[in-house]
Every structure is written in C-alpha cells, then in structure tokens.
Amino acid sequence: VAASAALLGGGAVLTALVHVPRSRAVVQRLDDRWYALVQRTRTPPHTAAARTLDVAFGTTVDWTVRALVTADLLRRRRWRALAGWAGTVVLGEVSVGPLKAAVDRIRPPEPLTRTSMMSYPSGHALAAATTAPGIVLALLPPGPQRRRGLAVAIPLAWVTALSRTSLNAHWLSDVVGGAALGTGYALVAPRLAHLGDRNHRADPDGYRSSRSR
C-alpha cells in the first residue's frame, strides 16, 4: 500500500510538472539531455533489445497475455483475484488516453518505431507496468514465490519503459510517469478489490477458498 501510494503520488506530481508550461520547460531540459545521451551511446545490440521489448509488450502480445490470464482466473473461479486483475487493467487503460489528451505533448524527433497519439505518458510503459506485476499478483499466492516474481516483473517493466527512449518513441519523463502510474495501479488494485473482506488478512486472494472448492 505504501509503495503504491508513493508510485501513484510520484506519477501524479510528474504529470503535473509536465502539464504546467513553466515546469514543463525544466523537465524538458532534462529530457533533452537524456535524448542526446541516447543518440551518442546507441548501439545495434541496444536497439535490437529495445525492438524486442517493443514487440513483447506491444498491443497484440500484451492483450493476448491478458486474455489468457483472465481465462485462467475464470476457469479456477478465483473471483477476488480476477477483480484485482481486471481493476489493474481497467485503471491503466482508462487513464492513458485522457492523460495524453490533457498533457498534449509532442514526441521526440526521429522515432525508430511506429508511434501514435501524444507522448505523455508512455502507453507502452504503463501497459508493461500494469501487466507484468499484475500477472504475478493475480496468479501467484502470497509468500516468497510472489515476492520473487515481483522482483523480476517490476524491473522488467521498468526496463521495457526505458527502452522506449532508446527508440526515440518517448521522452524520459514520459516513461517514468507511465511506469510509476502503471506499477502503482498493479499494486493497489488487488487491495481495493478486497476492501471489506473479513478474510483478507488470512487469505488475501482467495487461494484457500479456491482449494476448498
């Protein structure tokens, strides 16, 4: 809960900074420096890795994986976990369009991949940060296995977010804002799904009740 609050709060602050013209100019100077660094240090292996992540967390693969996770939760009748998973996906999807329209930011020049809509926040970053940890929270029981899964999923999502700058698809602040919001959604939505559940502390995702059935 604390981590999700910090991430969502940080994402909200960064969104405000990018949205307000005076503070956007300050953020843009930092983004320009990062953009120049990426151009100087780009190598073929870096570009190849970024293109791989571009496809792996692209719309087609991402929604296919989301559909498979949803089908598995339905099959196992894990309704509380399904509610948390669905909430994670919905929060990410319903927020990205309005935020892009409100901030109305132009993308970096010379993109190396196909882009659409405005730049802030990065939809790729937000989707990766909701999907990767969201899958872990939906499918793995509380305990060491889940913690290990999150230790892999969250860094993977953030590396994917950062790779968007390697393809000149987004400014650095675009991907940081998107990843912060997406990770925050992934961590908070399962908790919101269990508000008022008397058994939440003992069995936060319905594993005991699923096994009993």
Q: pTM for the full model?
A: 0.88
Per-residue pLDDT of the chain (213 residues; tens, 9 = 90+): 889 999 999 999 999 999 999 999 999 999 999 999 999 999 999 999 999 999 988 899 999 999 999 999 999 999 999 999 999 999 999 999 999 999 999 999 999 998 888 999 999 999 999 999 999 999 999 899 999 999 999 999 999 999 999 999 999 999 999 999 999 999 999 988 877 565 544 444 544 444 433
Cis before 121? omega within 30: yes
| Terminal C-alpha separation, the chain | 30
The structure tokens 């993109």 sit at 111
Which is nearest to 103 in space by CA: 124, 128, 122? 122
Which is nearest to 172 in space by CA: 1, 59, 8, 14? 14
φ/ψ of residue 41, rounded to 5: -105, 0
Burial class (CB in 10 A: 0-12, 13-18, 19+), 64: exposed
Q: State CA 173 to chain mean position distance.
A: 14
Rounded to the nearest 5 percent, the helix, strand and coil shares of the chain are 75, 0, 25
Alpha-carbon distance values, 3 to 20, 45, 115 (Å): 26, 33, 31
